[in-house]
Copies of this chain bind each other. A is one copy, B any other.
């Protein structure tokens, strides 16, 4: 009986994961505001009430979608870079993975931290708050990585971590713009060159 319960729990978790995965596809294709219980129900072949029973309200689904994007983004860009030594090797690995993640629009369908921010910048409420909190967490992780570059003597003392974080974030936004809107095949190379220039100008 315990095994049956476990199997049921597992199936329920898989269903929820399928729902949130489909919701993330919708959000990346059409925006967070386009997300509805019905649109996701149609994608996964459930009834609207079936979706509701697993994730709750539309707003809860939207917040779960942001959490899912963050989970995947951290797993792909940040967590593996932690295997590298503190300082520039780790920062370089983050940038390498972040540029690749942003470049591969076919694979990742875009970036919710970017598209969501431009969608929600002038709104208020729990959805903006959820995205804002995740972006701040990501920025704080980057800031710590830059600080470690200074502690290791790799970047110049007196470097402003906030400035470096703002500059690398801008570089990624530029890449997204050039790759997705201009469809410029050199966009990732230029982003890599820009990172090398930023890195060079802050070297110890």
> Is there a chain B Cβ closer than 8 Å to A180's Cβ?
yes
Contacts A170-B170, A173-B174, A186-B162; A120 near B181 (Cβ below 8 A): yes
Q: Nearest CB to that of A167 among chain B residues?
A: B194
Q: Can you list, as one digit per residue, whether each of A116-142 has a CB less than 8 Å from chain B (1) or not (0)?
A: 011011100000000010011000000
| Contacting residues of chain A (161-181) with chain B, CB-CB under 8 angstroms | 162-163, 166-167, 169-171, 173-175, 177-178, 180-181
Closest 7 A-B residue pairs measured CB to CB? A170-B174, A117-B181, A173-B173, A121-B180, A121-B181, A166-B190, A170-B170
Interface size class of A (residues with CB under 8 A): 35 or more
Q: A132-B182, A197-B201 are in contact. Are A118 and B122 (CB under 8 A)?
A: no
A190 to B160, CA, bound (A): 10
Interface centre among A122, A180, A198, by most B CB within 10 Å?
A122
In the docked arrangement, what's the CA distance between A163 and B29, Å? 29
Q: Name the prevailing secondary structure of the A interface residues.
A: helix
Q: Note all chain B residues with C-beta closer than 8 A to A167.
A: 171, 174, 190, 194, 197
- Within the complex, which residue of B166, B174, B182, B201 is in contact with A178, where a contact is CB–CB below 8 Å? B166
Closest residue to A183 on the B side, CB-wise?
B121
A53 within 8 A of B: no
B residues near A83, Cβ cutoff 8 Å: none
A67 to B169, CA, bound (A): 29
Docked Cα-Cα span, A187 to B174, in Å, equals 16
Q: Which residue of B lies closest to A189 (CB)?
A: B163
Q: Is A10 engaged at the interface, CB distance under 8 Å to the other chain? A: no
Determine whether A114 belongs to the interface, using a CB cutoff of 8 Å to chain B. Answer: yes
- Residues of chain B within 8 A (CB-CB) of A198 are 197
Q: Please state if A163 and B181 are interface contacts (CB–CB under 8 Å).
A: no
| Cβ contacts under 8 Å, A12 to chain B | none
A132 to B170, CA, bound (A): 21
A166 touches B194 (CB 8 A): yes
